[in-house]
Each structure stands twice: as structure tokens, then as C-alpha cells.
Amino acid sequence: MKILGIETSCDETAAAVVEDGKRLLSNVVATSLDLHAQYGGVVPEIAARSHIESITPVVEAAVQQAFDGQKSKVIKSKARATEDVRHSTFGLSTEADPWDQIDGIAVTYGAGLGGSLLIGVLAARTLAITKKKPLYGVNHVEGHVYANFLTETKLPDYVLPGAAPSFPMLALIVSGGHTQLALFRDHFDYTLLGQTHDDAIGEAFDKVAKIVGLPYPGGPSIAKKALEGNAEAFTFPKAKLQGKYDFSFSGLKTAVLRAAQAACGKTYELPSSQLPGLLNEAQKANIAASFQRIAIETVVDKTLLAYEEFRPASVVIAGGVAANQELRRQLTEKLPLPINYTDIKLCTDNGAMIATLGCFKAMLGQPSVDPYSLDIEPNLSM
Ligand code: KG4
Ligand code: ZN
């Protein structure tokens, strides 16, 4: 079962082919990140325009890359079957069409930016109709979790876990738009244990980076700067919420702002835009390290709590913040169960995670969707 996955929910135009929900055959990502960096965040109109420019070459590259290695085998067998036809076509190429090998198409239809989602969904719908393939709509956040099921690839530079996670599986989903804990009893059978009431953890990384003047996206910038800092230099609060597995990061972000103002001897009235010019490098590093420690501890604490309560057979982390080394370090140190972390290239948005979930939908008989009517759902929840 080979599924092409298409992902365009935010600023990455991504496509990949995955076989049997475990083998990564290709993974192509084009990002418009550079175009957004000067604005300190994703500009929806710019993202949508770059998706329009990139979607066709990205999908073509993913399909080509997936079958490059198998080209000779495919051509040989097809040539045998079409020997007579070949003689009568006066040498015209009978090279196999890689699309023949694709069994279905999966696409992110939510959650995400409306204009961005629309480009991926329209591309997938068109391909499903013209190439006559079943179409599967995928929830972006569920997709992130499925990056952890990839265990094999011939692509260079990927380090994948040796085995897929087993059920019941506890998933910590930490991205720019989501912070959630979910318990999966099986494929397509899960309970959302809790989620953020305000900012997502990745959003907090991005906002704190902006406060101290580190480049967008804030997650990797904060993580890098934190390496030079003292994680105990500042004491930031952890939000206490009624829901045992709920999160809140807006208070932490405000506490960082106040601490940064105080660190340069200013009052609350100082506009945050002036802070990057007033803080020295050591202060920035200490703020980055102290913020990162608390933000990561917050999600690790709740993961441990859920582990104790539900005793899952596996724990996975998913979403852009799952690339964070401090998160991996704390979880490895504190969780009694070893975690198989996936490659950090599969944590941020990609088509492989969408293709993987698409494979499971196809293999386990989930219904495909109508390519003439699949609509986007920007506010889709888990
Ligand atoms: O999953 P993703 O690519 O997009 C969403 O679905 O939101 O996640 C992007 C988020 C951004 O907020 C980015 O700052 C954060 O993931 N991120 C990180 C790291 N790499 C990306 N946060 C912390 N540490 C990182 N190494
Ligand atoms: Zn994402």
C-alpha cells in the first residue's frame, strides 16, 4: 500500500510517499520560512502564495523520488508485458509511470490556515480525480502522531526508531498550534486527555524569542541560545489548571516579558519591541534557558502524570517542539519507559506523517472521501 501524502496547513509545502504505514520512500519539503522571518511570524497571504508556486514541483519530486530506486525493476517487468506494443510504437519510451504505483492520496484538510489548506486540498482533489486514486482526508494533529510509525527508509540522513509504537499509546503533541495529551487505545480510537487553554507551547517559544530578539522560528533559536545560558537564573511560574492534563502558556510568556523588563531596569511600560536592544547576550541566554526549562518541565510533568495513571505500552512525542533536545533529555531521564524518538525532520510539518496516517486509513478500511467535495476545516479539533 503506497500512499502519497500532501501537507500545506501552514508555511511548509510538503509531499511524501509512504509504503505500508512504515516505509518512507520519499519526503520533500519546501518552506516559505525565509519570507516570513522578516515579519517575525507566518503571514497567511504569503504562505498561500508560496504554496501555489511550490505544490506542483513538490508533489512531482515526491513521486519521482519514491520510485527512482525501483525504476529499472519497473521498466523491466512492464517491458516484458508490453513487448509487442513496444515494437509497434517505433521505439517510443515505455518507461513506467510512477503514478501507477501510487494506491491513494492523503491530504491535510485541517486544522491550519484557510488559504494554505485550500491549496493542498485542491491539488489532492484534482490528482485524485485525474489519476483515479482514492482520497483520504487527514487531521493535521493526528498526522503528527503518525510520524512515529515510520521505521524503515532507504533515504540518507534519517534516523528512525527500530519499532513502531504499541497500543495503548500515550501521545504528547507539542507544536506551534497545539499542546495536547492523547491516549490511543488503537488506530482511530483515542481520548483527548487535555490541551492548552491559550497559547500552544511552540507559540510560547516563538513569542519569547521575539521578546528577547531571537530570529523566527523561535523554537530552534531559543534552544540554541539556551545552551549558553543558566536555566536556574530566572524563576518562572508553572500554570496550575483545573483540568489535570490541561496546559496554559500565556502566563509564562507574560512572566518572561516582565522579567526581561526588570532585567534591564525598566518598568512594565517599556514596549517589548525595545527589549532586544537593551538586553545583553548573557541576559538573553539566561532568559532562553530558564524559559525553556519551565516550558518543557510543564509538558513533561503532565506526561509523567498520565503515564502513571494509564500505564501505556508506549509514549510518543509529536509536533515541531518534539525536535527539542531538552524535551527529549528530560523525558529520557524521568520516564520509566524508554521512548523511541523519530528523526527531527519528521517532527516539524511534513508530508510523510500525512502519508503514514493515510496508509493506515487505507489498510484498515477507513472510508475514502469524495474528491469532488472534500472541504477544508481550518478549526478542526482532535
Ligand atoms: O509542527 P510544526 O512544524 O507546525 C505546527 O503544526 O504548528 O511546529 C512548529 C513549532 C514552532 O512554534 C517552532 O518554534 C517549534 O515548533 N519548534 C521548536 C523546535 N523546532 C521547532 N520548539 C522548540 N525546540 C525546537 N527545537
Ligand atoms: Zn504541525
Residue 23 CB neighbours (<10 A): 17
Query: For residue 21, how many C-alpha atoms fall within 13 Å in the half-sphere facing its CB?
Result: 16
Q: Is the CB of 202 under 6 A from ligand 1?
A: yes
Q: Which of 68-72, 340-344, 349-353 has the lowest mean pLDDT?
A: 68-72
Q: What is the pLDDT of residue 173?
A: 98
Residue 89 backbone dihedrals phi, psi, to 5 degrees:
-100, 15
Please give the grid coordinates belonging to residue 27.
519526503
Q: Which of 236-240, 319-323, 333-337 has the lowest mean pLDDT?
A: 236-240
- Residue 39: DSSP 8-state: T
H-helix or E-strand spanning residue 315: strand 314-318
Q: How far is residue 246's CA from residue 236's CA, in Å, rounded to a whole number? A: 18
Task: Say whether pLDDT at 235 is over 50.
Answer: yes
H-helix or E-strand spanning residue 273: none
Tens-digit pLDDT profile for residues 146-179 = 999 999 999 999 999 999 999 999 999 999 999 9
Q: Is the CB of 219 under 6 A from ligand 1?
A: yes
Task: Say whether pLDDT at 70 is over 60.
Answer: no
Length of the chain equals 382
Buried b (16+ CB within 10 A) or exposed e, 201-221: bbbbbbbbbbbbbbebbbbbb
Task: Say whether pLDDT at 141 is over 70.
Answer: yes
Q: How far is residue 310's CA from residue 84's CA, in Å, rounded to a whole number? A: 63
Q: Is the CB of 349 under 6 A from ligand 1?
A: yes
The ligand 1 atom nearest the CA atom of 218: 14
Q: Note whether 131 and 99 are within 8 A (CB).
A: yes
Q: How far is residue 281's CA from residue 293's CA, in Å, rounded to a whole number? A: 18
Q: Characterise 319 by phi-psi region: left (phi > 0), alpha (psi -120 to 50), beta (else).
A: left
Tens-digit pLDDT profile for residues 272-314 = 999 999 999 999 999 999 999 999 999 999 999 999 999 999 9
Q: Is the CB of 320 under 6 A from ligand 1?
A: yes
Please give the grid coordinates belonging to residue 254.
507574560
Sheet holding 314-318, edge to edge: 189-195, 179-186, 169-174, 314-318
On average, the pLDDT of the chain sits at 92
Q: Note whether 231 and 289 are within 8 A (CB).
A: yes
Question: Which ligand lies nearest the alpha carbon of 175?
Answer: 1
The pairing of strands 169-174 and 314-318 is parallel
Average pLDDT over residues 367-382: 97
Taking the whole predicted model, whether its pTM rises above 0.85 is answered as yes
Average pLDDT over residues 49-68: 95
CA 278 to chain centre: 34
Residue 46 backbone dihedrals phi, psi, to 5 degrees:
-65, -40
Q: Is the CB of 223 under 6 A from ligand 1?
A: yes
The CA 224 to ligand 1 mean position distance, Å, reads: 13
Q: What is the pLDDT of residue 32?
A: 83
How many Å is the maximal CA-CA distance in the chain?
Answer: 85
Average pLDDT over residues 75-85: 36
The ligand 1 atom nearest the CA atom of 292: 23
Task: Say whether pLDDT at 335 is over 80.
Answer: yes
Grade residue 96 by pLDDT with cuts at 50, 70 and 90: confident
Q: Characterise 265 by phi-psi region: left (phi > 0), alpha (psi -120 to 50), beta (else).
A: left
The ligand 1 atom nearest the CA atom of 202: 12
Q: Is the CB of 11 under 6 A from ligand 1?
A: no
**Residue with more model confidence, 242 or 16:** 16
